[in-house]
Structure 1
Amino acid sequence: MINLKLATSLDGRIATARGESRWITGTEARLQVHQLRAAHDAVVIGAGTAVADDPELTVRLEGFEGAQPARVVLDTRQRLAADSRLVRTAQDIPTYLVSSQPLRPDLATAGVRGVQIPGTGRPEMSQVAAALAGQGLRRLFVEGGGEVAASLLRAGLVDRLEWFRAPIVIGGDGHAGVGDLLLDALADAPRMRRVDLRVLGDDVWESYERI
């Protein structure tokens, strides 16, 4: 099961043109994201998000005593820095790097687990999902970025979409929450059915399921 999370402005942007993204949504929305993380086997991000935000991707809820979800970085070129938060905590929380190449030795030494999908370029998302399922990671919470979201939507792999929208407008020069889908016609656009809508402070949280 793949659950895609978007936290965007009203016009679907996840960051300004300069990459500023903290914080688009408010405290209540971010609290819900932590609760969603806790309900999944792994939190998944792309290399761009890992490099730009240096996230920890942990569940930080008062009184939370459950196991932390694994962290997964889709990083074909293995750009993840050895001093990043994900790598520094890899001994304590399972952390995977998905690539078409063998894992960098310094990352392996730090405790990062490599998931190699043979090939010459970026692996297909269906291959990624299958490889992670082979590691016991079947409930995936995908937090970005835009290219990862687009790849999953193009492949028809998104089972559920959690969309948090803040009442701000960033503009067309900002970073899009979903990258290019390469559609030829509206009939080709992914279709979702809204199953829930909640107001969280100034933000709106909409949940969708695949039709």
Structure 2
Amino acid sequence: MPVTLKLATSLDGRIATASGESRWITGEAAREAVHRLRAEHDAVVVGIETALADDPELTVRLAGYSGPQPARVVLDSRQRLSPDSRLVKTARDVRTCVVATREPDPVLVAAGVRVLRVAAARANHPDLRDVVAALAGEGLTRLFVEGGGQVAASFLGGGLVDAIEWFRAPILLGAEGRPAVGPLAIAALAQARHFRRVETREVGDDLWERYARI
């Protein structure tokens, strides 16, 4: 199953300031490109921290777009997603899945959310290989992973990322900013994940770099 990781960062690889401010690091042209990429995938995947902090819609919002919406998938072991969130409120309009490690919350189910239970890995986080298998069982075979840093690190650390779509804004946030990729527990360069740059283009003031796994 192809898994694409999207990163939208500062030049120094930060996705937010230390306080969590992140809207908007990249410009309008880059955000439009992200919407086009969403339209090419079956599902958009985020972690629960991103869902709680941003209350996103995770839909394709392009002028004149009338194609299918990708499913929205939240990695949410303890099912903390609020019934008042945009994702839950629109779950009957756009397919919405929560991936958990416990029995489905009846409140989410009643709102139209599809709760998928998978095995727990470390720190009770969902086992990502089980997540990918569960989503494939739902017919979702092209995944677009949008964040945040810990989710990106988990997919990368598990060797599950096939491509990276990296949007880089011409700003610097410094070491106190929040990193796009969390800890990978890499002790030597030989352990690093390797990717090949396949394309670079300008989108407005930002740079769009595309990578494929080697």
- TM-score of the aligned structures, taking structure 2 as reference length: 0.97
Matched residue type, 1:71? R
Question: Are 1:202 and 2:193 an aligned pair?
Answer: no
- Superposed CA RMSD: 0.9
Partner of 1:80: 81
1:128-177 Cα shifts (integer Å, max 9, x gaps)? 11111011001000000000100011111100000000011111111110
Identical amino acids, percent of aligned pairs: 62
CA distance in 2, matches of 1:55, 1:39: 19
CA displacement at 1:123 relative to structure 2:
2.1
**Cα displacement (A) at 1:102:** 1.4
Alignment of 1:70-149 (within 5 A): 70-119=71-120, 121-149=124-152
Residues in 2 aligned to 1:50 and 1:173: alpha-carbon distance in whole angstroms: 22
2:180 is aligned, of 156, 177, 181, to 177
SS at match of 1:205: strand
CA distance in 1, matches of 2:114, 2:54: 21
Residue of structure 2 in register with 1:42 after alignment: 43
Q: Which residue of 2 aligns with 1:165?
A: 168
Letter in 1 for 2:203: L
Is the CA contact 2:153–2:183 (under 8 Å) kept in the aligned structure 1?
Answer: yes
Q: Are 1:8 and 2:25 an aligned pair?
A: no
Once residues 95 and 84 of structure 2 are traced to their aligned partners in structure 1, the CA distance between those partners, rounded to angstroms, is 16
Distance, in Å, in 1 between the alignment partners of 2:175 and 2:158 is 25
Tell me how far apart the structure 2 counterparts of residues 133 and 185 of structure 1 sit (CA, whole Å).
Answer: 34
Give the Cα–Cα distance (whole angstroms) in 1 for the partners of residues 112 and 206 of structure 2.
Answer: 37
The residue type equivalent to 1:135 in the other structure is E
5+ long unaligned stretches in structure 2: none
For these two proteins, the number of residue pairs brought into alignment is: 211
Which segment is superposed worse, 118-127 or 161-170?
Answer: 118-127
How far residue 14 of structure 1 moved from its aligned partner, in angstroms, is: 0.5
